[in-house]
Chains A and B, each alone.
Chain A
């Protein structure tokens, strides 16, 4: 493929970056990424992947833009309050980079739709804000042998890891079951610092670009944890292989996506609106 003049100019800082270059940019333009969640984490992921020239980006989110989002969901605007988040995000992405094809899915990801949603994409990014979705994304991606990037953030802290099924541990290898509702606070309960969400989401975008281009060391078998209060940033080594993992272990018990597996136990908070 030949770059247009506009592409040479737009991506010049990628082309001149050793480790990325022309071949890396071609890979980005040919790649497809599904971002599940167009909120706090989704904002920097969507913006940076669009800026980088990922050729096809899918967005999944069932929510509409709300005033309380704007403290951290920087892809949205005050004027777009009330609009579906995927539409609002797509608008910002297309205006940043018209090169990118954005496909919007205005829906909540669930056990019934996730397999079809992820199928056409090379890579999935977990930009969700609840445990049920994180476990669902993990299981669906492992079962589909689809690489994905996990992240979570609350308060002043967050974490990121990359999962390439069977090449390293999955999310369930490390966190076996969902915590009971209330055990781990959500952003609505505990709050979250906008810029910290930006840091974690930007790290997800960085991992995505590295995976697509094939440069550097991905966070496979390592969890990056960020404590923004102390600025302790650690790469926590994880076991390379967990033989009794229910989904990617030697005798998996999760071999299909069963909705019953993704109901947070003893739910006292209505997580359907998260």
Chain B
């Protein structure tokens, strides 16, 4: 039994942006306050308490994409789910990286529209 059995996928903010929410389960690990401030449509919120309870309710018939604020906690939860047989991807850099991506593409759009 190897401690390092589990491998799960990593996705970038750009890939996160293009996800088809109907084909996956989105798992949002952030605190409810953060979720309220910056919601992600269709995501199930799974804060640390009661994480185990919420994880139990995650369907395993479609891929799971998990994200947190910075990207390290989602990697931990991805490992837990992978051990349980889920097909999982974790958002690298977390919602923070996604926010940066959104800001950059917004700027890019603005500049494109100007020219």
Contacts and interface: CB of A to CB of B under 8 A. Distances in A.
A16 B80 CA distance: 12
A28 to B, nearest CB: 11
B51 A8 contact: yes
Interface in A170-188: none
A2 B48 contact: no
A1 B1 contact: yes
Contact count band on A: 10 to 19
A6 interface: yes
Contacts of A3: 80, 83
Contacts of B114: none
A22 B79 contact: yes
Closest 6 CB pairs of A and B: A2-B83, A8-B52, A5-B52, A9-B52, A22-B79, A22-B76
B112 interface: no
A27 interface: yes
Interface in A1-26: 1-3, 5-6, 8-9, 12, 15-16, 18, 21-23, 26
Contacts of B56: 5
Contacts of B83: 1-3
23 contacts: A1-B1, A1-B83, A2-B84, A2-B85, A5-B52, A5-B53, A5-B55, A5-B56, A6-B52, A8-B52, A8-B55, A9-B51, A9-B52, A12-B49, A12-B52, A15-B80, A16-B48, A21-B76, A22-B76, A23-B4, A27-B3, A30-B1, A30-B3
Interface of A: 1-3, 5-6, 8-9, 12, 15-16, 18, 21-23, 26-27, 30
Contacts, number: 42
Interface of B: 1, 3-5, 48-53, 55-56, 72-73, 76, 79-80, 83-85
A9 B47 CA distance: 12
Contacts of B76: 15-16, 21-22
B19 to A, nearest CB: 24
Nearest to A7: B52
Contacts of A8: 51-52, 55, 80
A24 to B, nearest CB: 9
A9 B84 contact: no
A43 B33 CA distance: 40
Contacts of A30: 1, 3
Interface centre among A3, A22, A23, A27 (most CB of B within 10 A): A22
A12 B55 CA distance: 13
A178 B20 CA distance: 71
A96 to B, nearest CB: 19
Nearest to B68: A16
A26 B3 contact: yes
A27 B84 CA distance: 18
Contacts of B50: 9
A62 B5 CA distance: 41
Nearest to B81: A2
A2 B55 CA distance: 13
> Which has the most chain A C-beta neighbours within 10 Å: B48, B53, B76?
B76
